[in-house]
Amino acid sequence: MAQEEWQQSLKQSVTSVKQLADDFDFDQRQLEAVAARYPMRISPYYLGLIEQVGDPIWKQCVPDVRELDPSGMTDPLAEEDFSPTPAVIHRYPDRVIFLVSGSCASYCRFCTRKRKVGCTDMSLSFRELRAGIDYIAANAQIHDVIFSGGDPLLLPDSVLQDLLARIYAIPHVEIIRIGTRVPVTLPERITERLCAMLKKFPPLYINTHFNHPRELTSQATEACARLADAGIVLGNQTVLLRDVNDQPEIISELFRGLLKMRVRPYYLHHMDLTRGTGHFRTSVKTGLQIMYSLRGPVSGLASPHYVIDLPNGKGKVPLIPQYVKRKGNDLMIYAADGSVVEYSDIVDG
């Protein structure tokens, strides 16, 4: 069977520091050691978004010597401890992550699963995938299944359709979500054929992963439009990254742009404590200041939940700026412009 355009494009990805050096001037020797530990892959499309060494796109996909810092946790969310089968992560009672793919179109240098994605043969056998499906079918409290990996949309249409159909047929599964970055890094993957197939499994939600306004290209916009036109609800999970998007004006531009693309900002993630990603971490104060800056100037539709995914599998916790202080029976509420408004409260009981 002939390969599709996106599959041919993926084969042309940059996977070595030497290849990257053909287009950019940098010290190869340092980065080769990093790529040997944490493999790199940059799709031709995403490579084309890099304007210069060290820009926001470069930092997200090109190895950095700071990744070899031994501090941090290999599995900060304790996913291995919450995996009853190799294909399933079950941290919350009503939902599971279903790991269906071991690779991505481009490997993010800040990935929570960088311990395994692209590093080893993460591809699961049909038997392991079937065991995951059986586990989901046997646990009636599971209502929400999140396809993840790696990137589920790197699977061929036929394989993805088979997995979706098997999960969709489980009576107690109410919704299916897919986590993917291909609209950002490989938008040609979002074909009309793929969208027609996905349309068969409502309600289907896709959370994608735009981190910077420069990723909101015409190609990405067209890919998201195809998905939205197929009736798929689109959300976005942005990671707060030092020296990439940790400025209020960058985040507000990103979130406004996403809304124009019919993609709802869903989460702003504080960086996990993953080994090899410490140079991307910001303070929580920075994140709270960014969230505060969105109130008023930016539509509430563009204000996601700012969350920390707690270590050891304790789950996501929202963080919000402090807008209210009590003064006797009254409240002192901070308005979007920074002024303080006295608000008369009622006393319970």
The reply to whether 151 and 286 lie within a common domain is yes
Model confidence at 349: pLDDT above 60:
no
The reply to whether 66 and 157 lie within a common domain is yes
pTM exceeds 0.85 for this model: yes
**Of the candidates 225, 276, 216, the residue with the CA atom closest to the CA atom of residue 245:** 216
337 is catalytic: no
95 is catalytic: yes
What is the maximal distance between C-alpha atoms in the chain? 74
- 271-314: pLDDT as tens digits: 999 999 999 999 999 999 999 999 888 888 888 999 999 988 88
The reply to whether 285 and 339 lie within a common domain is no
The active-site residue, picked from 41, 64, 75, 91, is 91
The reply to whether 153 and 166 lie within a common domain is yes
The reply to whether 282 and 341 lie within a common domain is no
pLDDT number for residue 30? 85
- At 275, which CATH number? 3.20.20.70
The reply to whether 255 and 106 lie within a common domain is yes
Number of structural domains in the chain:
2
What's the half-sphere exposure (Cβ side, CA atoms, 13 Å) at 4?
Answer: 16
Q: How far apart are CA 156 and CA 207, in angstroms?
A: 19
- 229-243: pLDDT as tens digits: 999 999 999 999 999
The reply to whether 155 and 81 lie within a common domain is yes
The active-site residue, picked from 61, 111, 195, 224, is 111
181 is catalytic: no
Extract the tokens encoding 50: 């890099």
314 is catalytic: no
Model confidence at 162: pLDDT above 80:
yes
Provide the CA 151 distance to its chain's centre, in angstroms. Answer: 10
Q: Of 26-40, 158-172, 330-344, which gets the smallest average pLDDT?
A: 330-344
Within 8 A by CB and 6+ apart from 13, the residues are: 41, 42, 43, 44, 105, 106
The active-site residue, picked from 45, 46, 75, 95, is 95
108 is catalytic: yes
Q: State the chain's mean pLDDT as an integer.
A: 93
348 is catalytic: no
The reply to whether 268 and 327 lie within a common domain is no
Higher pLDDT, 311 or 2: 311
The active-site residue, picked from 41, 113, 116, 177, is 113
The reply to whether 234 and 337 lie within a common domain is no
Query: Sorting pLDDT into bands at 50, 70 and 90, what band is 121?
Result: low
266 is catalytic: no
Instruction: State yes or no: 108 annotated in a binding site.
Output: yes
pLDDT number for residue 73? 94
The active-site residue, picked from 199, 262, 316, 334, is 316
- 170-222: pLDDT as tens digits: 999 999 999 999 999 999 999 999 999 999 999 999 999 999 999 999 999 99
272 is catalytic: yes
115 is catalytic: no
- Domain with 347 in it: 319-349
